[in-house]
Amino acid sequence: MKPGENNTTAQIIIYVILGLLGAFIITFIVWKAIKGKLLKKKAAKAEAIKQQKDLEIFNEYVMSFAEIIFYTEEQLKSFVVSIGDIKMNSIKNGATKLIKKLIERDDFVYTFVNNAQYKTFLDHCETLSITNCNLWNKKIPNTITYFKTQYAAIPQTQRKQEYVELVKKSIRRQFYEEAEKK
C-alpha cells in the first residue's frame, strides 16, 4: 500500500458517512414536514366519521322520542276517565319510563352529553323527561314541536322505515309493561 492510498480510502469513507448522515437529516426533515399534514388529514377523516356516526345516533334517538310522543298522544286521546281499562297513571308512567330508559343509555351519554352541537336536543330531552305526558301540549309545546320537526326532517329511507317499525313494536311491548307486572 502506498501512503496516499490510505488517505484516499479514509476520505471516501468519510464522504460516504457524511453523505448518509446528510441523507438521513434531509429525510428526517421531510418526514417531520409531511407527518403533521398526514396526522391532520387522518384526524379530520376520523372526526368526519365520528360526526356521521353521531348524526345517525341522533336520528335514531329523535325517531324514538317522536314515536314515544306519538304513541303517548294516541293513548291520551283514547283515555276515558273512570270507564276505560287504562289508568292515567299507567300512561304517565309508561311514557316516563321509556323516555328515562333512552336517556340513561350509554350511547346517549357518550354521544350527546358535553357535545355543544347537541345542547338543544339535550335540553328538550330533559324537559320531556321531567314533564308529565298529559301536560306536554300545555307546558312544553316547543319541545313536542322540536321532536316532530326533527322527525320530519329525517329523510325517508328503508332504514328509517325499518327502525320506526322496531321502535313502535318496542313501545307497544314496553309501554304498559310495569303496570301489568303489579
pLDDT in tens, 130-163: 999 999 999 999 999 999 999 999 999 999 999 9
Residue 141 grid cell:
309545546
Maximum pairwise Cα distance, the chain: 120
Question: Would you state the pLDDT for residue 178?
Answer: 61
pLDDT in tens, 83-103: 767 888 888 999 999 999 999
Question: Would you state the pLDDT for residue 68?
Answer: 96
Q: Which of 22, 4, 10, 103 minimizes the C-alpha distance to 61?
A: 103
The mean pLDDT of 165-169, rounded to a whole number, is 94
Instruction: Report how far residue 136's alpha carbon sits from residue 80's, in angstroms, rounded to the nearest whole number.
Output: 18
Question: Would you state the pLDDT for residue 5?
Answer: 59
Instruction: Report how far residue 65's alpha carbon sits from residue 107's, in angstroms, rounded to the nearest whole number.
Output: 15
179 has a pLDDT exceeding 50 = no
pLDDT in tens, 67-83: 999 999 999 998 888 77
State residue 18 phi and psi, 5-degree precision.
-65, -40
Question: Would you state the pLDDT for residue 45?
Answer: 93
Instruction: Report how far residue 179's alpha carbon sits from residue 142's, in angstroms, rounded to the nearest whole number.
Output: 30
